[in-house]
Amino acid sequence: MRILMVHTGGTIGMIRTQDGLAPRKGVVEDAVRNMIVSGEIAASVSIEALEPLIDSAKATPVDWIRMARCIVDAGDTCDAIVVTHGTDTLAYTAAALCLALPGLKKPIIVTGAMLPLTEEGSDGLRNLRDALKAAATGSPGVWVQFAGRLLHGARVRKSHSSAFDAFEAGPSTAAPFLTAESAGLNVLSPQKVGVFSVTPGACAEILGFAVDHCDGLVLRCYGSGTAPDTPQIRAALGRARDRNIPIIAVSQCPEGGMKLGTYAAGRVMRENNVVDGRDMTPEMAYVKMHFCLSLHESYAVRCDYLAKNHVGELGLEFEH
Ligand code: ASP
């Protein structure tokens, strides 16, 4: 078994510095070497560290594609991939890898830690070991190994900011990869994707500004799919529709998803062609908007792309 490890940074490989925790080259590499020497891991592991290692708060869509390209470039030299990553934007990267790699035939296991490997009581060693084992036995697709659980890469979210068990993912019957005849790479071009959360008394000027300045928008609406139906919000969403700016709505509730049409208070979105994100995570909705804008030109095709279930990003109740 040949495993490619793409080390991007994150707490797992950090040390304490005067400014706080910061990535340090060699931390993850040493831990992997020790596991191999001790016989805990029976695989050959080659490590590709991204330059520079980053706190994942600094990650951008360019980094998602750098990681994906690294995996594509490795070609047949590896059987599986482990990505070590900061937890803050790990869910975005997992979603992006799902959509970036059509025809993926290998497992990609993304992991990280809440405490650095260099600190006592760290969860890093366990996550790293579990990720390497999952890579050796896993099925094709993008998975997140964390706190003893293997989670669906297209449905995962960071749900806790300090507990070791920091990630959740809803179930899905579809594997987390894009089906395609041959393997490839979907690249991204720079896109302005805005995220607007509705609130009681929401400032519609901000939504209007986003509509005028963004290429696509994620609308975080209430509960099962409602938003304030004010003349200003209606005008902003109408302008988006007239200007062919795609908008996808996802619920502010972490569980249960949404269904536009349940309430009359969702009409303002339906009438303005807002795509129903159902129970897609906000992370996936944001990432998917980047791919949608980069891969497709026409407004109608973009809306169809956003609505379709590509990599199991929709839960059981919503997948058809
Ligand atoms: N700020 C860190 C990061 O995302 C947090 C972590 O890795 O847990 O890189």
Q: How confident is the model at residue 83 (pLDDT cuts 50, 70, 90)?
A: very high
Is residue 159 located within the same domain as residue 205? no
Q: What is the mean pLDDT of residues 242-268?
A: 95
Domain containing 213 — which CATH number? 3.40.50.40
Is residue 66 located within the same domain as residue 14? yes
Answer whether residue 177 is part of any domain: no
Is residue 159 located within the same domain as residue 210? no
Q: Is any ligand 1 atom within 6 A of the Cβ of residue 88?
A: yes
Is residue 61 located within the same domain as residue 146? yes
Is residue 38 located within the same domain as residue 116? yes
Answer whether residue 180 is part of any domain: no
pTM above 0.85, yes or no: yes
pLDDT higher than 80, residue 39: yes
pLDDT higher than 70, residue 95: yes
Q: Which atom of ligand 1 is nearest to the CA of 88?
A: 4
Domain tally, the chain: 2
Q: Report the pLDDT value the prediction gives residue 297, as an integer from 0 to 100.
A: 97
Domain containing 68 — which CATH number? 3.40.50.1170
**Top mutation candidate among 7, 87, 160 for ligand 1, by most atoms within 8 Å of CB:** 87
Is residue 99 located within the same domain as residue 229? no
Answer whether residue 116 is part of any domain: yes
Is residue 157 located within the same domain as residue 207? no
Per-residue pLDDT reduced to its tens digit, 262-314: 998 999 999 999 999 999 999 999 999 999 999 999 999 999 999 999 999 99
pLDDT higher than 90, residue 89: yes
Q: Return the exposure string of 26-35: e unless at least 16 CB atoms fall within 10 Å of the residue's CB, then b.
A: ebbeebbeeb
Q: Is any ligand 1 atom within 6 A of the Cβ of residue 61?
A: no
Per-residue pLDDT reduced to its tens digit, 165-200: 999 999 998 999 999 999 999 999 999 999 999 999
Q: How confident is the model at residue 320 (pLDDT cuts 50, 70, 90)?
A: low
Answer whether residue 178 is part of any domain: no
Is residue 164 located within the same domain as residue 228? no
Q: At which of 136, 169, 202 does a domain end?
A: 169
Is residue 202 located within the same domain as residue 156? no
Q: Is any ligand 1 atom within 6 A of the Cβ of residue 283?
A: no
Is residue 82 located within the same domain as residue 161? yes
Q: Report the pLDDT value the prediction gives residue 319, as an integer from 0 to 100.
A: 73
Is residue 161 located within the same domain as residue 212? no
Answer whether residue 183 is part of any domain: no
Is residue 20 located within the same domain as residue 164? yes
Answer whether residue 157 is part of any domain: yes
Which position among 8, 11, 89, 93 bears the catalytic label? 11
Q: Which domain holds residue 131?
A: 2-169
Answer whether residue 175 is part of any domain: no
Answer whether residue 187 is part of any domain: no
